[in-house]
Amino acid sequence: MLKNDKWIIEQAKAGMLNPFQTNLVRHLEPNSKQKPVLSFGCSSYGYDLRLSPKEFLIFRHVPGTVMNPKKFNSENLEKTTLHKDEDGDYFILPAHSYGLGVALEKMRVPSNITVICLGKSTYARLGIIVNTTPAEASWEGHLTLEFSNSSGADCRIYANEGICQLLFFEGDPCETTYSDRKGKYQNQPEKVTLAKI
């Protein structure tokens, strides 16, 4: 069953999401409709997660190198600068490139819930694909978020604003949670976590 806003708010109070925004924020100054942002916070059946400003890494081409998920080479990644102007704080993801960021909110997934992460339509319309694997039962930490810029233009990726939506699905209690099996991506900090074996 897909969980609703009432359930999300109750679980957030118990520590499922921190920091937590109880309503969907579209303007930093809502009364005057000033300072629009890419929406974040609780919606009817989900939560719009924010991108942390702490780190954003971009894959760069290193001639003669082949990426190997079994022997991940961090030298293929380079940090990118956090820019700031009247529109907000942002990273630039170059055309036809791939980047890694991290969620601002820390998650503590209940033992009977699996969380699916989907990209926001505002970014999808620009050719930005957000890819994140499910957060399984009892997973905890800051999600590492993957971004692909499929367009022919560089794109701003805004920090401290909505980047993707979480959907919470309840299932029958499982025999072994992610925490029980000591999953390799458990307790991720607010820092990009690289591929592990």
Which residues are the active-site residues? 146
Q: Which residues pair with 48 in a beta bridge?
A: 41, 165
Instruction: Tell me how many degrees the CA angle 33-38-143 measures, rounded to the nearest 5.
Output: 145
Structure tokens belonging to residue 92: 């630039």
Q: Pairing mode, if any, of strands 17-18 and 106-108?
A: antiparallel
DSSP assignment of 30-69: TTTTEEEEEEEEEETTEEEEEBPSS--EEE---TT----T
